[in-house]
């Protein structure tokens, strides 16, 4: 029905059909009819079963798939925001296809909540206005503070930084750069120089940082350095801790094209922007780029895809690149740029391994470490003690009968937390259940229950006993729960109001501690022998990051690692600051074992009240997949492992099992997934059974 003439003239009598993507766990998109003109990328309110939903039009003017009498009409076309662009739809559709989800489950969650919730557009409060109009009215009333940009400081680059930046700025069209720079080498200077060049020409930049790094200080510092080429209102910040209204505001400024730099965590990869001229992924190895629920996407991988789509360069930066990226750089898919020197001319810190096997530890701390902390304090420098385990102690234990604090809903220990004074509470880190610790053993009645092992709270307590004069602060997920509290704590550290900092991996990233003399690492061994083949890679990255905090002030820095396995290659490589050697050795192991990046994986996980049901579902799925592979002559390229229970098998009374699929060819893997998933039925099956699929899983 493509009548000649301008398409914008409404033809009231003609019914048009279009396809709409909806956030429902069904394949979609769904056919709807409309009397008014509808464009691809429009958001619409449609009836769906007994519900009403907001969807995104993915095709307009189509032949319907169903008889016309079965097709319901669109209720309303929401014209409050310009239609989403074909490029944005293509990005979402690529992600949906790659991660094996319906389009709508990618598109709708990528929009700010008010733009995808029907209730924003109805009810007394809303009247005829939608959330966008309300936001704009409020902004006009507030008369927005006249975006006075802070005075920009010129960037000063070392020779190595300049050489790297020059290469990136010379890029014509798409190019992926792996910027591999030791901690303190000033990778940010390189990003900013490249960003400045793009912004000065009127271009746009998408800047991704790990979850933990996105503090207001970071944004402020960024703006300070880019102040000469970008105004405050041209910066949009997007992350998951924003209030709905804040996120809507930032998203709209990006969508409208007003924002020229979008700074955000992984979810910002789906931001709608008219064009992008440079993408930066800082700390590209960071696990927080992988979404761990719903659509399990990798923002880093999508960043490379999106840069290609935009014909723009992308910079992946890290001191410890992921083996996937390292492999691509070695193969020549990515261009490798190296920063081998620290920008401040300071040497990398000395790493010392403390063999704890023949040592008398004082409350878990080696005498050498305690001495080193004492020396740092006497020189008015700061100390950092790293323990990647929050809480007071991992478990409460009865010496008399062997009782341990076990979560009643999970196959996991309940962790001891100190809750003010001497009150102890038990928290399950898996299901979140909390209650007061028993006063005596629930089994034998012995009142002498002992916390076993230590977490950051207990370490903090011990350090306070050892160094009563020192000002001690703790940074972990518990101490920073309140919005802004992490910033406050880091502020105190920077201001020199803290002598000893205790923390989990939250302390290890990005933050510069100007005056850090010694870093102690306690209990890193726990991660050394994990069943997950990526554990050594992750541990090495964490320790390099933590070690890299020391000695940035130009004075010497000392890192002390307590271990019962000092001869382990991982620790030996760490001592030499030898990422390249360590990566090479891991790469050889992975290649021999046929693991990523030399193979491609997907993980099918099932959950049910009874473990047997979850395993049964997976075994049946496995049989179907094997039959499918044989029928399509792909059995040699794809391996299906046995279905196994997860390490923590029961969480919140639900049992979980998984089936690992491994392929030597990505194409074969995706062909299987497409052909096979349909046969698995609804993700929310009968009898409480649920399943989900993860492509390129990070944790196995």
Contact residues: Zn ion, CB under 5 A: 398, 400-401, 403, 407, 409-410, 428, 430-431, 433, 441, 443-444, 446
Is 26 or 652 the residue whose CB approaches Zn ion more closely? 652
Is 162 or 609 the residue whose CB approaches Zn ion more closely? 609
User: What b/e string do you get for 587-625 counting C-beta neighbours within 10 Å, with b at 16 or more?
Assistant: beebeeeebbbebbbbbbbbbbeebebbbbbbeebbeeb
Query: How far apart are CB 404 and Zn ion at their closest, in Å?
Result: 10
Is 180 or 413 the residue whose CB approaches Zn ion more closely? 413
Residue 118 three-state SS: helix
Query: How far apart are CB 614 and Zn ion at their closest, in Å?
Result: 18
Spatial separation of the C-alpha atoms in residues 25 and 10, rounded to whole Å: 34
Of 146, 183, 187, the closest CA to residue 165 belongs to 187
Strands 434-436 and 313-318: unpaired
Strands 600-608 and 516-521: unpaired
Spatial separation of the C-alpha atoms in residues 616 and 637, rounded to whole Å: 25
User: What b/e string do you get for 229-247 counting C-beta neighbours within 10 Å, with b at 16 or more?
Assistant: bbeeebbbbbbeebeeeeb
Is 272 or 414 the residue whose CB approaches Zn ion more closely? 414
Residue 636 three-state SS: coil
Residue 561 three-state SS: strand
Is 290 or 429 the residue whose CB approaches Zn ion more closely? 429
Query: How far apart are CB 529 and Zn ion at their closest, in Å?
Result: 24
555 near 381, Cβ under 8 Å?
yes
489 near 479, Cβ under 8 Å?
yes
663 near 600, Cβ under 8 Å?
yes
What are residue 439's phi and psi, to 5 degrees? -75, -25
Query: How far apart are CB 397 and Zn ion at their closest, in Å?
Result: 9
Spatial separation of the C-alpha atoms in residues 258 and 254, rounded to whole Å: 6
Is 91 or 410 the residue whose CB approaches Zn ion more closely? 410
Query: How far apart are CB 389 and Zn ion at their closest, in Å?
Result: 17
Spatial separation of the C-alpha atoms in residues 177 and 250, rounded to whole Å: 28
Query: How far apart are CB 388 and Zn ion at their closest, in Å?
Result: 20
Is 275 or 404 the residue whose CB approaches Zn ion more closely? 404
Helices 456-466 + 367-378 axis angle, to 10: 60
Give Rg (Cα) of the chain. 27
Query: How far apart are CB 617 and Zn ion at their closest, in Å?
Result: 23
Q: How far is residue 223 from each of residues 149, 233, 234, 260, measured CA to CA in Å?
A: 8, 11, 10, 12
Chain centre to alpha carbon of residue 163: 30
Query: How far apart are CB 650 and Zn ion at their closest, in Å?
Result: 8
Is 138 or 653 the residue whose CB approaches Zn ion more closely? 653
Is 430 or 474 the residue whose CB approaches Zn ion more closely? 430
Is 104 or 451 the residue whose CB approaches Zn ion more closely? 451
Residue 368 three-state SS: helix
Query: How far apart are CB 530 and Zn ion at their closest, in Å?
Result: 21
Is 401 or 612 the residue whose CB approaches Zn ion more closely? 401
Query: How far apart are CB 57 and Zn ion at their closest, in Å?
Result: 43
Query: How far apart are CB 444 and Zn ion at their closest, in Å?
Result: 3
Of 334, 688, 364, the closest CA to residue 502 belongs to 364
Query: How far apart are CB 398 and Zn ion at their closest, in Å?
Result: 3
Query: How far apart are CB 440 and Zn ion at their closest, in Å?
Result: 8
197 near 254, Cβ under 8 Å?
no
Spatial separation of the C-alpha atoms in residues 299 and 206, rounded to whole Å: 12
Is 148 or 448 the residue whose CB approaches Zn ion more closely? 448
Angle at CA of residue 472, ends 470 and 477, nearest 5° = 170
Is 256 or 446 the residue whose CB approaches Zn ion more closely? 446
């Amino acid at each position: 029905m493509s009548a000649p003439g301008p398409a914008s003239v409404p033809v009231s009598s003609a019914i048009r059909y279009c396809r709409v993507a909806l956030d429902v766990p069904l394949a979609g998109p769904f056919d709807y009819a409309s009397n008014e003109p509808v464009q691809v990328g429009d958001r619409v309110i449609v009836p769906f079963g007994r519900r009403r939903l907001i969807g995104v039009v993915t095709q307009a003017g189509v032949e319907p798939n169903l008889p016309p009498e079965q097709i319901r009409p669109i209720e309303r076309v929401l014209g409050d925001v310009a239609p989403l662009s074909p490029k944005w739809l293509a990005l979402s559709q690529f992600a949906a296809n790659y991660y094996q989800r319906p389009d709508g489950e990618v598109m709708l969650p990528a929009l700010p909540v008010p733009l995808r919730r029907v209730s924003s557009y109805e009810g007394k409060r809303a009247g005829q206005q939608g959330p966008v109009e309300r936001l704009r009215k409020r902004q006009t009333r507030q008369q927005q503070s006249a975006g006075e940009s802070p005075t920009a400081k010129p960037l000063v680059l070392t020779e190595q930084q300049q050489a790297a930046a020059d290469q990136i700025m010379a890029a014509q069209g798409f190019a992926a750069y792996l910027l591999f720079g030791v901690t303190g080498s000033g990778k940010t200077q390189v990003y900013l120089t490249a960003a400045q060049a793009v912004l000065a020409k009127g271009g746009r930049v998408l800047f991704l940082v790990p979850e933990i790094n996105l503090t207001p200080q970071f944004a402020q510092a960024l703006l300070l350095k880019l102040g000469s080429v970008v105004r405050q209102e041209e910066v949009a910040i997007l992350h998951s801790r924003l209030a709905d209204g804040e996120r809507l505001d930032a998203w709209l400024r990006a969508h409208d094209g007003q924002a020229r730099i979008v700074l955000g965590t992984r979810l910002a990869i789906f931001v709608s922007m008219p064009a992008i001229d440079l993408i930066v992924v800082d700390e590209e190895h960071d696990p927080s780029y992988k979404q761990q629920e719903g659509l399990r996407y990798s923002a880093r991988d999508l960043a490379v895809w999106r840069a290609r789509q935009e014909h723009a360069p992308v910079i992946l930066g890290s001191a410890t690149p992921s083996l996937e990226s390292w492999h691509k750089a070695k193969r020549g898919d990515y261009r490798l740029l190296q920063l081998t020197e620290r920008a401040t001319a300071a040497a990398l810190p000395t790493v010392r391994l403390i063999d704890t096997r023949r040592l008398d530890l004082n409350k878990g701390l080696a005498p050498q470490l305690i001495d080193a902390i004492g020396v740092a304090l006497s020189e008015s420098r700061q100390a950092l003690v790293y323990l990647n385990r929050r809480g007071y102690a991992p478990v409460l234990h009865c010496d008399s009968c062997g009782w341990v604090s076990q979560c009643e809903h999970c196959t996991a220990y309940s962790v001891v937390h100190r809750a003010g004074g001497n009150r102890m509470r038990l928290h399950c880190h898996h299901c979140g259940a909390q209650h007061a610790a028993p006063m005596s053993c629930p089994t034998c009645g012995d009142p002498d229950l002992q916390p076993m092992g230590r977490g950051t709270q207990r370490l903090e307590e011990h350090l306070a006993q050892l160094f009563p004069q020192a000002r001690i602060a703790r940074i972990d997920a518990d101490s920073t729960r309140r919005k802004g509290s992490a910033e406050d704590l880091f502020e105190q550290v920077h201001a020199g109001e803290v002598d000893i900092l205790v923390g989990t991996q939250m302390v290890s990233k990005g933050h510069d501690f100007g005056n850090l003399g010694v870093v102690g690492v306690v209990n890193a061994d726990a991660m050394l022998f994990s069943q997950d083949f990526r554990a050594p890679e992750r541990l090495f990255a964490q320790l390099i990051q933590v070690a890299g905090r020391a000695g940035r002030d130009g004075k010497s820095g000392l890192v002390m690692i307590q271990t019962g396995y000092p001869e382990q290659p991982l620790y030996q490589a760490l001592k030499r600051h030898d990422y390249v050697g360590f990566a090479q050795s891991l790469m050889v192991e992975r290649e021999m074992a046929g693991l990523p990046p030399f193979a491609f994986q997907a993980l099918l996980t099932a959950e049910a009240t009874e473990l047997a049901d979850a395993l049964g579902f997976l075994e049946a799925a496995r049989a179907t997949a094997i039959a499918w592979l044989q029928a399509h002559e792909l059995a040699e390229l794809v391996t299906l492992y046995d279905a196994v229970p997860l390490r923590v098998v029961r969480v919140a009374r639900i049992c979980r099992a998984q089936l690992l699929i491994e392929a030597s060819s990505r194409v074969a893997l995706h062909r299987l997934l497409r052909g096979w998933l349909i046969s698995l039925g609804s993700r929310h099956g009968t009898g409480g059974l649920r399943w989900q699929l993860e492509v390129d899983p990070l944790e196995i």
